[in-house]
Chain A
Amino acid sequence: MPEGTERADGRKTGSVWDNVLRISMREAGVAIALVIIVLFFSATAPYFATPENFLKIFVQIAINTVLAAGMTFVILTGGIDLSVGSVLALCTVIGATIMVDESLSPWVSIPLALVACMATGAACGAVNGWICETWKVPSFIVTLGMLNVASGLARVVSGNSTITGLPQSFVDFGNEIYFGVFPSIFLVAIIVILIGWFILRFTVFGRFVFAIGTNEEAVRLSGHNPRVFKIAVFTLSGLTAGIAAMVYLLRLNVGSPIAGSGYELNAIAAVIIGGTSLSGGKGSIIGTLVGACILQVLATGLQLLGAEDNVKPIVIGTVIVLAVVLDTYRNRLLRVLESR
């Protein structure tokens, strides 16, 4: 039993260093890693520490960040969503189809496309969650099925072709840059992350997400129905896939049935590097954002260092595993600090 003097806010006081170490380990473990990596490349890679390069990185992480935001919810409850990449493809096709319709004014078609993307994504996610919970099938299997189904649907809807010719105002917004280094799509991603952070931290729903991931049976025996919440997180993940589809259209200006292949794995990697436990209950969505940054910073940095294209995936793969291994040490250290 930890004993300690009580302060006014009721938290334990220890030595100052203990506290600094504890808080930095708990809240900023991955952020510190990101800073170190950025400093490393700034020092070694030419052009890395330039506004243009940061702008490029921000553009490149937007899609993955939005996908990973929804993925964080699913993983926090102990599930996984492999379908987000192809759900994104389906949504880009639907969104683009609506926007290229010339009978609609951009003022109508753009919001309509956004709503359609979000609704399609949410529907796919809800189906995922509902099947998982009704027949108690592991989410890995169900979303693997949805990965294929959504991909097939995207081909059917698009007639196996890419859709171009989006409204100019839409394309312009996608190219907008604020404050010199913040592209519009990055700001969209940040807003999604902030909303997710708010939900997880300040709402009853967020509390249930963590509680279910920690111990679903205890939640059930506390008089709740975890099913509802688990279906909701899959719906949320589908919803962010829909939003990510709009981000994709803003960035690449083309709806494609083969968009997003492999994106689900990048999203999962961002969540895991961000410190969220694959078994659920532990993690943070801010960590997810940092995780997405680490992935992209590594890719860009290695490229600027002149690393071969073939070497990049080797390094990134190693980092993913290393992050999780280090995380177990971080948790052990935290436990020691917290019981001191």
Chain B
Amino acid sequence: MTTDLNETAPDADHLSAAPGQDRTAGPILRLQGVGKRFPGVVALRDVSFEVRRGEGHVLLGENGAGKSTLINLLGGLFPPDEGSIWFDGAPYRPASPLEAFSKGIRVVHQELNLLSNLTVAENLLFERLPSRRGLVNFREMNRRATELLSEVGLDISPSTLVSRLGVAQMQLVEIAKALAHESKLLVLDEPTATLTSKEVDRLFEILHRLKARNVTTLYISHRLQEIYEVGDRVTVLRDGQHVTTRPLQGLGIPDIVRLMVGRTIEDQGVFRDDVQPSGEALAVENLRLTETSPPIGFSVQRGEIVGIAGLVGSGRTEAVRAIFGADPRAAGTISVGGRPVTIASPKDAVAAGICLMTEDRKQQGLLLDMSCAENITITDLRRLSHRGLLDRAGENAASKRLVAGLRIKTPSVFHKVGTFSGGNQQKVVIAKWLYRGSSALICDEPTRGIDVGAKAEIYELMGRLAAEGKGILVVSSDLPELMSICHRILVFSKGRIAGEVPRAEFDQNRILSLAYEEYGRARGN
């Protein structure tokens, strides 16, 4: 880290310039010691860097490095807990997205925020509809919308309903919307994720034109090749901390990947090398999410923990949800314990012995307003049922055993899980599937938002379950986590498995390069 700090030294003279002295010469955006915590996680810690007026500034970082949090701070979704932000020479602390917008910061979020039942023109000019005495001036609105659309090269009528557009078109409308009102700083979060290379070229053209008008852009992308076309300088975040801000020139992709990885892995000593995989627990063959998506195939042995790495949006969650029957799939054979099973719904999957601990445990995994015991037994109420009546004594006994076995900290099994900490909630999710006795466990981001101590316990628990003969599949954005607990790691890149890395060959650089593989290829670089 010390070397990194030295590298930011050339910017120090900017930092010393008092804000507000010269509104046109200083940096457009300056962050000083910015920190943001969420329950259980520190999303940003002491982040300081500057974005110069008129430059193309690229923001990079692995999953969970804090990029989205940073953008949301700028966009006025929530304030920082610590530190300060200066924008255009004045302290910047927007109370709402509207205020951010009126100050001249325009954020194009990755997930599109268009109003799908309104027309393209209405969406484009929504913040300030041209009007006369409260009535919308439709002619003026459509005229300006047409201009904006032609600027981004979209050949659609401004009166088209947004709901009838494709994703790429919506993305372009979002960008056109950002152009509708003169902004000083344009923040683009993964704008090219859904665009074809022709549309990407068009976008870069626009960005160059904006640059000529002295509009600053803060650009986030997973496609490392394309950042050279839009960026002058790059800022890398890692684990919520600032790593470096430096010119892009002379920086190769391998250098960038190294800057992003960097984190040393403290060996948690949770890997059980005494467990030898034996027999197949779960096998997936030729899984296709849609007719055109690439086929996915892999298997998990009993006693084995297999990791799935990849960028957010690389199709990891989609794949495991399709295996579990939570979302439809176009094709694919799934076998449990060597026998093919038919899975059309989660019900089938659970009956076959597969379980899915979802990424979003609050929305999809737990009944927050119900008790710990009720949450645990929901997976198998038939076992507690005598002619339709519920055996409450049996329920309490079974849940108490699991609560004790997993060391879930709660005064009683009657307490609502909504009041539990993240780590304890995750343990309840594990408990409910242990209660069901599933043989193949799929865990999507099992330690997201959980403190370090609880993480270690969950790792240990996974090791124990594998030793008991269960097959475990872990999806995680935390690469060091996967490297410390898995026998092997499958790397997803843009919906396909870009590679498989056995434990002996674990290497952050290699895995991350595989994860970025398909994104580089898309630009034909």
**B388 in contact with A224 (CB, 8 Å):** no
**B347 in contact with A204 (CB, 8 Å):** no
The total of chain A residues at the interface (CB under 8 A) is 32
B424 within 8 A of A: yes
Closest A residue, CB atoms, query B363: A217
Other-chain contact of B374, A12, A207, A282, A338 (Cβ < 8 Å): A207
Tell me the B411-462 residues at the A interface (CB within 8 Å): 411-416, 419-421, 424, 432, 436
B346 within 8 A of A: yes
Q: Identify the stretch in A3-11, A124-132, A249-257 within 8 Å (CB) of chain B at 4 or more residues.
A: A3-11
**A223 in contact with B390 (CB, 8 Å):** no
Contact with B along A207-223 (1 / 0, CB 8 A): 11011001101111111
CA distance A218 to B414 in the complex (A): 19
**A10 in contact with B346 (CB, 8 Å):** no
Closest B residue, CB atoms, query A2: B411
- Minimum C-beta distance from B279 to chain A (A): 24
List A contacts of B367 (CB < 8 A).
Answer: 211, 214-215, 218-219, 281
Other-chain contact of B379, A12, A207, A223 (Cβ < 8 Å): A223
Other-chain contact of B420, A1, A6, A225 (Cβ < 8 Å): A1
CA distance A282 to B367 in the complex (A): 12
List B contacts of A12 (CB < 8 A).
Answer: 411-412, 415
With A10-B414, A204-B381 already in contact, the answer to whether A211 and B370 are too (CB < 8 A) is yes
**B347 in contact with A223 (CB, 8 Å):** yes
List B contacts of A339 (CB < 8 A).
Answer: 419
- Minimum C-beta distance from B77 to chain A (A): 25
**A6 in contact with B411 (CB, 8 Å):** yes
Other-chain contact of A225, B345, B388, B436 (Cβ < 8 Å): B345
A203 within 8 A of B: yes
B42 within 8 A of A: no
CA distance A204 to B378 in the complex (A): 10
Contact with A along B371-394 (1 / 0, CB 8 A): 000100011011011001110100
With A202-B390, A210-B370, A211-B370 already in contact, the answer to whether A223 and B414 are too (CB < 8 A) is no
- Minimum C-beta distance from B59 to chain A (A): 33
A sample of 6 cross-chain residue pairs with beta-carbon separation below 8 angstroms, ordered by A number, consists of: A12-B412, A203-B390, A215-B367, A218-B366, A220-B345, A223-B351
With A1-B424, A202-B389 already in contact, the answer to whether A220 and B384 are too (CB < 8 A) is no
The total of chain B residues at the interface (CB under 8 A) is 46
**B346 in contact with A207 (CB, 8 Å):** no
- Minimum C-beta distance from B375 to chain A (A): 9
B356 within 8 A of A: yes
Tell me the B347-377 residues at the A interface (CB within 8 Å): 347, 349-351, 355-356, 358, 363-370, 374
List B contacts of A40 (CB < 8 A).
Answer: none
Tell me the B151-196 residues at the A interface (CB within 8 Å): none
Closest A residue, CB atoms, query B367: A214
List B contacts of A1 (CB < 8 A).
Answer: 409-410, 419-421, 424
**B350 in contact with A214 (CB, 8 Å):** no
Closest B residue, CB atoms, query A3: B411
CA distance A107 to B382 in the complex (A): 40
A173 within 8 A of B: no
**A2 in contact with B369 (CB, 8 Å):** no
CA distance A2 to B421 in the complex (A): 10
- Minimum C-beta distance from B383 to chain A (A): 10
CA distance A223 to B355 in the complex (A): 9
Other-chain contact of A223, B350, B363, B416 (Cβ < 8 Å): B350
Q: Which of A4, A220, A339 lies at the interface centre, i.e. has the most chain B CB atoms within 10 A of its CB?
A: A220
A215-B363, A220-B326 given; name 11 further pairs at CB < 8 Å: A3-B411, A6-B412, A10-B396, A10-B412, A207-B378, A210-B370, A214-B369, A215-B367, A222-B346, A223-B355, A338-B419
Other-chain contact of B364, A202, A210, A217, A224 (Cβ < 8 Å): A217
**A225 in contact with B347 (CB, 8 Å):** yes
CA distance A281 to B414 in the complex (A): 16
CA distance A339 to B392 in the complex (A): 24
List A contacts of B363 (CB < 8 A).
Answer: 215, 217-218
**A223 in contact with B366 (CB, 8 Å):** no
Say what secondary structure dominates the interface of chain B. mixed
CA distance A11 to B416 in the complex (A): 12
Closest B residue, CB atoms, query A206: B390
List A contacts of B370 (CB < 8 A).
Answer: 210-211, 214, 281
**B369 in contact with A281 (CB, 8 Å):** yes
**B366 in contact with A207 (CB, 8 Å):** no
- Minimum C-beta distance from B169 to chain A (A): 27
- Minimum C-beta distance from A333 to chain B (A): 15
Closest B residue, CB atoms, query A225: B347
CA distance A179 to B384 in the complex (A): 40
- Minimum C-beta distance from B390 to chain A (A): 5
**B379 in contact with A222 (CB, 8 Å):** yes
With A10-B414, A222-B346 already in contact, the answer to whether A211 and B378 are too (CB < 8 A) is yes
List A contacts of B388 (CB < 8 A).
Answer: 203-205
List A contacts of B355 (CB < 8 A).
Answer: 223
Other-chain contact of B346, A203, A220, A281 (Cβ < 8 Å): A220
List B contacts of A220 (CB < 8 A).
Answer: 326, 345-346
Tell me the A182-234 residues at the B interface (CB within 8 Å): 202-208, 210-211, 214-215, 217-225
**A215 in contact with B409 (CB, 8 Å):** no
List A contacts of B351 (CB < 8 A).
Answer: 223
List B contacts of A219 (CB < 8 A).
Answer: 367, 378
CA distance A127 to B66 in the complex (A): 50
CA distance A205 to B390 in the complex (A): 9
List A contacts of B410 (CB < 8 A).
Answer: 1
CA distance A222 to B419 in the complex (A): 21
Closest A residue, CB atoms, query B395: A207
**A282 in contact with B419 (CB, 8 Å):** no
**B436 in contact with A223 (CB, 8 Å):** yes
CA distance A218 to B390 in the complex (A): 20
Contact with B along A1-33 (1 / 0, CB 8 A): 111101000111000000000000000000000
List A contacts of B347 (CB < 8 A).
Answer: 223-225
List B contacts of A10 (CB < 8 A).
Answer: 396, 400, 411-414
Closest A residue, CB atoms, query B326: A221
Other-chain contact of A221, B365, B368, B392 (Cβ < 8 Å): B365
